[in-house]
Amino acid sequence: MNRVEIESIIRHSRNRATEEAVMLWALASAQYPLNHPVIQEEATVVLVEAVSSFAINARRALEGSAERSGIKLVQPRWQWAPNNGGEVVKDLWDSLNRVIHAKRLDVGWEKLPTDASVIPHGAIVVPYVRAETDRRPLAFIDPFAMAHAFLYKALAILDRQSRVLAKLQ
């Protein structure tokens, strides 16, 4: 593959990861009805597909960056903590790799307090996904924090690197 094709693939992955980060932002920000399994099942499928596709494209876009492992997951949408143990992943690069290599990837649903719900009869939200690989135990990953880290930190790094490369050519 020549350099133009590689740059084109990376640019395409950056654009796709950006679109998918916005999708994750929306899916992880929404409130879902507590007692509506059809909505929950469909949202689960869409979220697993979005987080998986995001992880592949974001990883490809960041692969050549020396700063890829310094991007922290620091902005949750929902306040939560695992109540049955397990690591909470705090690094974007680590989270991307865990999702890509997951042999188990679950969507975590948590009930909102009644006073926070805008949906009659209660609501649930998606504050995390859980990923387990053949080398890493089950861990909690915040999809909103992933989207935020990519949109606010990773894109700035990728844009800065693009400008530097453009000047060198």
Range of the domain at 143: 3-168
The domain total for the chain is: 1
14 or 80: which carries more pLDDT confidence?
A: 14
pLDDT of residue 86: 83
112-117 long-range Cβ contacts below 8 angstroms, 24+ apart: 112/31, 117/31, 117/34
Site of tokens 């399994």: 37
Query: What DSSP element (H or E) covers 59?
Result: helix 37-62
Q: Give bridge partners of residue 106 from the DSSP assignment.
A: 130
137 pLDDT more than 90: yes
Q: Which residue has the higher pLDDT, 166 or 96?
A: 96
Tokens representing residue 159 in the block: 């844009």
Q: Which helix (H) or strand (E) holds 55?
A: helix 37-62
75-118: per-residue pLDDT in tens?
999 988 777 778 999 999 999 999 999 999 999 999 998 888 88
Average pLDDT of the chain is 90
pLDDT digits (tens, 9 = 90+) for 55-78: 999 999 999 776 777 899 999 999
Q: Given this model, what pLDDT does residue 10 score?
A: 86
Q: Confidence class of residue 164 from pLDDT cuts 50, 70 and 90?
A: low
